[in-house]
Amino acid sequence: MTTKDMMKWMILILTSIWIQIEVIQIKGHWIFGGNVAFPFLMAILLWWCPRVIKDFKGEIWNTKK
Give φ, ψ of 37 to 5 degrees: -75, -35
Q: How many domains does the chain have?
A: 1
Provide the CB-side half-sphere exposure for 50 (13 A, CA).
Answer: 8
pTM of the model: 0.64
Range of the domain at 17: 3-61
Band (pLDDT 50/70/90 cuts) for residue 62 is low
pLDDT tens readout for residues 2-54 = 888 899 889 888 988 888 888 888 888 877 766 778 888 888 888 888 888 88
